[in-house]
Amino acid sequence: MKRIILLITLMLSVSAAAKIDLVTLPERDITQMTIYNSADLTLIRDGRSLTLAEGDNRLQFSWAGTLIDPTSLSMLPKAHADKIDVAELTYPARVKNAGIWNIDSEIDGSVPMEITYLTSGLSWRAFYMGTLTEDEKAMRLQGYVRVSNNSGEDYENAQTRLIVGQVHILDQIAELARREQPYGRPGVRPQTQTMTVSNRMVRKRAVMEEAEMVVTRMSAAAPKEIKKEGLSEYFLYTIEGTETIPNTWSKRLPSFEAAEIPVVNLYKHTGPGNRRVYRYLSFKNDDEHKLGETPIPGGNLKVYRTIDDDSHLSYTGTSNFKYIPVGEDVELNLGAVSDVIVEPKMMDYKSDNYRFDRKGNISGWDEIRTVQLTVKNTRDIDVKIELKRNLNTQYWNIKNSGVAKKAYEQVDMDTVKYTLTLEPETEKVVEYVLTTYHGTRTEGRSKSS
Amino acid sequence: MKTRMIILVLVIGAMFAPFAQGRTKLVALPERDATIIRLDNPNATLIEEERVLTLQKGLNKVDFSWKAVSIDADSIRLTVLDHPDKVKLLNVSYPPGEPALVWEIASDGDYAETVRISYLLRNIDRLVTYKAIADKEETQVNLKSYLVLRNFSGEDFEKARVLLDYGEPKDELGIDHEETKRMLFLKSPEVPITKIWTWDAAKLPWDPEELEHRNIGVPVSYRIVNEDKSGLGEFAMAGGKARLFQDDGSGSTIFLGEDNTALIPVGQKTELYVGDSRDIVVTQRKMKDDKIPVHKNNKDQVVLYKTNEVITAKIENFKDKPATLTMIQHIGGQWEMKECTLDGKKVKYNRKDASTLEFEIELEARSDDGPAERNLKMHYNRLNVRP
């Protein structure tokens, strides 16, 4: 539905009494939507050719039923900029969702003008499908974006651009759109309009849920390209050509595809408190992994595995991941598994080096534990596993033996990590002796970095 | 229809008007002439209006009333402009139960006297907002400032001059009750900006690995200085909401973000927080925290000790452009830096106050091998710590 209406009232300033109202409804020439996903916010750029008369022109712009932030409205001439003065914007008294621009023009004729504003109600999100090869050494990654329009306005043949990034805003655009007065009243905290709009939104959402359908591209012979470029701290995706997304509809578009991304099957075990082993898929957003062209926007990934030559699939798991900059390692948590097993065991415990105070009470001692972590890979593929241990104190010392020596790394003052690679259907044992210091034995001592 | 709530009535022959029997309001309603809405004080708006009073020789009474309009009665002033020596305001009286006052004016002749009435009017004010469009390289912004006039005073102003504490006086304009008007009043097309990334150890999480599904955004700000070089610097810039956009290099813009600025005095800077960068990642860890006894009491208990602490921070730049990160660290209490290095080399910091350290860390752009990485290490003792 078209709710945004632009009326031109030509006010010939020949005489105050002879006010001639000429009204025309110029059509949109160009529409561009720049949709954000970190906030409910879209920048609309609306190009129209206006027929101006020399002198004062009054232009009425109304947007009832939409979610436009009236304070964001802006108009600029795209030609004859020095001869056209967009002097002021008036939000008339007791009229809602309308503004009147006063334009002082030295031009008599058609002028391309651009109206920009922020609206709420349009959104996009990224989601992904991953398909692992049978040996799980590589994954085909397909990225999609889904653009939804709940703005109250139909956007036809609009250039669609998506912004990846975290934008800082002070007020929600939806709140600004619902205000009784665009800038509020003096001395009063801005109040939002009555429930009508939000009710409408709720209804709309219900309708949307019923009618929600994904429009795949069928008409075009090839899927549309998405141009990606960095701007400031953001990434801008520009979808080739234009899109028509009616109000309450949404649209799915492919954003990228990378075949044969080498992946590491990473498993993690975090310690005695949690016996479970979690599976991660690890790769890097770089050239080597057939990626690295742009950051990857955060979203949900569903991972499948090819199980036979007939391309049948098995569902492996799902993971939400965060924004991944170019060059960063990715670790996708696919959840707990039972085919890689970690068995922690304390093999020996003793205490030693007792210290006593002047009253003869114990003031310090050491505790010495011998720990064995047995790691079993029951799978038919190579796996990498990380065993992280929090030692609960910064006063400690570790002696590693066997495989533990090479696998060891100190993370911070009270955390250590062992990283191992296991061949199919093998097991390894990490063994270490941990000494912790207590009471006066801690004095002047800690594991140094 | 115009809302006229402020009414001025000239009562002729008031000398004979029987006060006790109600006030007789007769005669001409002098029209408002030059009207000024003065918005230089953000807390109150001063209205100055000129009217011509047809005065008769002797005592005149002028009735000034305001209904449904919030005027501070004590703020009302009357200034005689044409014959200040010959026309004298004798007294002001307030009728009971009415938002009105009566001026008693003595005139030594028959004059069409211009007077200026001024008063503080509530519910009419102004906001200032900014719109800035940065160039693609983010070196400068095209800054525009708008004055937003909000009139909810109950009174329509058909023609008034709106004055700020600075800038050119606007042309006369009309503003009705419940009307809001937005006007461009300041343009500076080439204001240099400095882009700043700030990582504050007290505000942001230290270890991004702990947050599996969430990015830590490093706040990004634009710094603007109110000075000549910016095409500004003539007057203090009012505080208000600023929206920032960026030219995308293909005839369009993107919205970068918005922030409130406080008043910016001449020569001072403002920093506008635009958004967060997820391409600069800081991983900070405490690698050591030892307690070293300094003194024990007779019972062999430690009563004074010092600490030996090591903090490391890995800073990675995943951007394809270099950046300067402002890193803010906090060390409480009495402390002494033993060693402070960046990539193993001694590094300087600014001590902002007793417990705040500020580092300026230059980051190169990422390379084909991955992010540009720098490593900060702070080794310090905290002294005279009492358990």
Q: What is the mean pLDDT of each run of 10 residues along chain B (387 residues)?
A: 67 46 50 86 87 88 87 90 91 88 90 91 92 95 93 90 72 88 90 95 88 84 93 90 94 94 92 93 93 88 91 94 94 94 95 94 91 95 90
Residues B350 and B242 in one domain: no
Contact B248 A236 (CB under 8 A): yes
Residue A174's H or E segment, with its range, is: helix A173-178
Rounded CA-CA distance A93/B202 in Å is: 48
CA distance A222 to chain B (A): 25
Q: Are residues B375 and B258 in the same domain?
A: no
The secondary structure of residue A27, as a DSSP letter, is: P
Q: Strand B218-225's sheet: what is its strand order?
A: A166-167, B269-277, B218-225, B194-200, B323-330, B356-363, B350-353
pLDDT at position A191, please?
53
In contact, B103 and B61? CB cutoff 8 Å: yes
Q: Which of B311, B260, B321 lies closest to B282 in space, CA to CA?
A: B311
User: Quick check: is B199 in a domain?
Assistant: no
pLDDT in tens, A41-84: 999 998 888 888 898 888 888 888 889 999 999 999 988 889 99
- CB distance from A335 to chain B under 8 Å? no
pLDDT value at residue A142: 92
**Domain hosting residue B339, numbered range:** 280-385
Q: Which two tokens stand for residue A34?
A: 């720049």
Which pLDDT score is estimated for B241? Answer: 95
Whether residues A326 and B123 touch (CB distance < 8 A) is answered with no
pLDDT on residue B221: 95
Instruction: Check whether residue B188 and residue B258 sit in a common domain.
Output: yes
Same domain assignment for residues B360 and B330: yes
Please report how many Cα atoms fall inside a 13 Å half-sphere around the Cα of residue A1, on the Cβ side.
10
Asked whether residue B158 falls in the same domain as residue B293, the answer is no
Same domain, yes or no: B74 and B108: yes
ipTM of the complex: 0.80
The answer on B357 and B328 residing in a single domain is yes
B302 lies in some domain: yes
If asked whether residues B248 and B234 sit together in one domain, one would say: yes
Q: Residue A270: what pLDDT?
A: 84
Three-state SS at A198: helix
Choose the closest CB to B178 out of A93, A163, A295.
A93
pLDDT at A6: 67
Residues B237 and B255 in one domain: yes
Residue B200 lies in a domain: no
CA distance linking residue B43 with residue A11, whole number of Å? 37
Asked if residue B147 is part of any domain, the answer here is: yes
Instruction: List domains and CATH numbers for chain A.
Output: 260-332 (no CATH), 340-442 (2.60.40)
How many angstroms separate the CA atoms of B385 and B332, rounded? 11
pLDDT at A358: 85
Other CB atoms closer than 10 Å to residue B203's CB: what's the count? Answer: 10
How far does the CA of residue A310 sit from the closest CA of chain B (Å)? 35
Q: What is the CATH number of the domain that holds B17?
A: 2.60.40
Convert the pLDDT of each residue in A31-42 to its tens digit: 999 999 889 999
Domain boundary among B57, B89, B121: B121
pLDDT at position B10 is: 67
Residue B56 lies in a domain: yes
Q: Is A114 on the interface with B (CB under 8 A)?
A: no
Considering only the beta carbons, identify the residue of A168, A236, A442 that sits closest to B273: A168
Residues B262 and B302 in one domain: no
Model-wide pTM > 0.90: no
Q: Does residue B287 lie within any of the structural domains?
A: yes
Residue B248 in any domain: the answer is: yes
Give the Cα separation of A234 and B245 in Å (integer): 12
**Of B118, B48, B110, B47, nearest to B83 (Cα)?**
B110
Out of B121, B150, B178, pick the residue that ends a domain.
B121
- Whether residues B347 and B321 fall in one domain: yes
Q: Is residue B30 part of a domain?
A: yes
Taking 70 as the pLDDT cut, the residues of chain A under it are 1-4, 6-25, 189-221, 446-449
pLDDT at res. B256: 95
Report yes or no: A287 at the B interface, CB cutoff 8 Å: yes
Same domain flag for B88 and B10? yes
Q: Name the β-bridge partners of B262.
A: none
pLDDT recorded at residue A19: 36
Report yes or no: A32 at the B interface, CB cutoff 8 Å.
yes
In total, how many domains does chain B have? Answer: 3
